[in-house]
Homo-oligomer: A and B are copies of this chain.
């Protein structure tokens, strides 16, 4: 069935009430009963939930063939938990496992062998990068992978579309009764936002820590009332890879120009007013926008009401200068952000449900004025692809892209016109992750295109001095520079489903044809 962004979703996936994508607010007002976990009551006085090792926790959790386990990615490229747990599961001979991760990265390449040998047969993740993405695109995973944005993952858990049997939560600190925090310890990641929902909805919850602290470890990100077992291991991650100070402060003149245009677009809209709210990604141009905003804010005596999202040093710098009222934080990307969420009285951890779940009673993204986002590709319908590379292989991650684009009043995509002689703006993106109706402004170094549906923004920007042009003109400029790209050839086999944040299917990813 053809969906609203003109993608053909094979009927075989439209079962069990799964529908095709029908618009960003299609499920506004949708009523459902939340999912709920099975719980084993713990009534007796009890000193400790610590078990001797991971295998004991797996046995006690009654993990069996065909079940689903979950992980968070706050430790990013420094994560040891996924491999540690999957090694144990594999050694115990448990098979046919679905891995429900908030994201998977290069640190998890070793699990490709478990995809190949049938230990892992299903994956739900935002990111599927590197070797895992290649394995998926090669069709090695038994079932199509689910690509879920951050809000979509939480929605799937809270609606029961995905049920977590056992959540394995790596925690920088825990007490022996399972109160766990993202703060402190040897592998400090600041927050545990992705895991907060897992802890509430999984049948069994195993906290894995390398730093046991005195009871009670408060205030907890993960609460003792939701935790079954605590496992103490020597190391949960590589602190040097979890966060560092090496922010990419771009000096690329093209990226700086894009950031300058994006900032100018932002401050030309009526939403740039005292108390505005803002999120930005971690890419070079996005980070530069945060820095470029400051003089405009100071000049007009405008403070930001709140900032959300993955948090980075430029945001903390603005906060320290008194230009941001509150930061609500679902992930920390550097040491400065981690230090701030520990210490600043107006920098708070939130769950990813609070951040971006489209199906709760109102997430933070619903109150967002601006978001600055990257893109691998943008097409003339303003659809964005952040999942498949120019070779058609899955290698990206929607993250909060889809959520913030839908929730914000003004979403701004920043991207170079071409990359490595491949056009970014084109007739049709390989994979639609964020629908064009959620995308308001596309900024390249050559020109700025406003979504024609946003006549208000076109009006607001008309005297901004920005090089405004149509998206078709941007595409033409790109094609003129590097030529129209050849279409990637795919086989029929679907290797991944791209689920929109509300649970409908916005696209599928097929196996790229081998170039022979």
Contacts and interface: CB of A to CB of B under 8 A. Distances in A.
Interface centre among A33, A35, A368 (most CB of B within 10 A): A33
A406 B43 contact: yes
Interface stretch (A50-58, A358-366, A477-485): A358-366
Interface string A393-425: 000000000000011110000000000000000
Interface centre among A45, A306, A346, A368 (most CB of B within 10 A): A45
Interface stretch (A22-30, A121-129, A252-260, A283-291): A22-30
Given A28-B44, A409-B45, A39 B360 contact: yes
A397 to B, nearest CB: 22
A249 interface: no
A214 B33 CA distance: 31
Q: How many identical chains are in the complex?
A: 2
Interface string A30-64: 11111111111111111101000000000000000
A43 to B, nearest CB: 5
Q: How large is the interface on A (under 10, 10 to 19, 20 to 34, 35 or more residues)?
A: 35 or more
Interface stretch (A98-106, A222-230, A235-243): A222-230
A465 interface: no
A276 interface: no
Contacts of A490: none
B306 A216 contact: yes
Contacts of A40: 29-31, 361
Interface string A156-200: 000000000000000000000110000000000000000000000
A337 interface: no
A357 interface: yes
A362 B216 contact: no
Contact of A367 (B29, B215, B407): B215
Contacts of A368: 45
Interface in A481-516: 502
Interface of A: 24-25, 27-47, 49, 177-178, 205, 214-216, 218-219, 223-228, 275, 305-306, 325-326, 328, 346, 348, 353-354, 357-364, 366-368, 406-409, 502
Contact of A41 (B178, B353, B358): B358
Contact of A38 (B25, B32, B275, B502): B32
29 contacts: A24-B43, A25-B43, A28-B42, A29-B40, A30-B40, A32-B38, A32-B39, A33-B36, A33-B37, A34-B36, A34-B37, A39-B360, A40-B361, A41-B359, A41-B361, A41-B502, A42-B362, A43-B358, A45-B368, A46-B367, A49-B362, A215-B305, A215-B306, A216-B306, A218-B346, A218-B348, A224-B361, A224-B364, A225-B362
Nearest to A357: B225
Given A36-B34, A305-B214, A361-B227, A348 B219 contact: yes
Contacts of A328: 216, 218
Contacts of A43: 24-25, 27-28, 358-359, 366, 406, 502
A362 B224 contact: yes
A32 B218 CA distance: 28
Given A36-B35, A216-B326, A348-B219, A28 B41 contact: yes
Nearest to A46: B366
Contacts of A38: 31-34
A207 to B, nearest CB: 11
Contacts of A306: 215-216
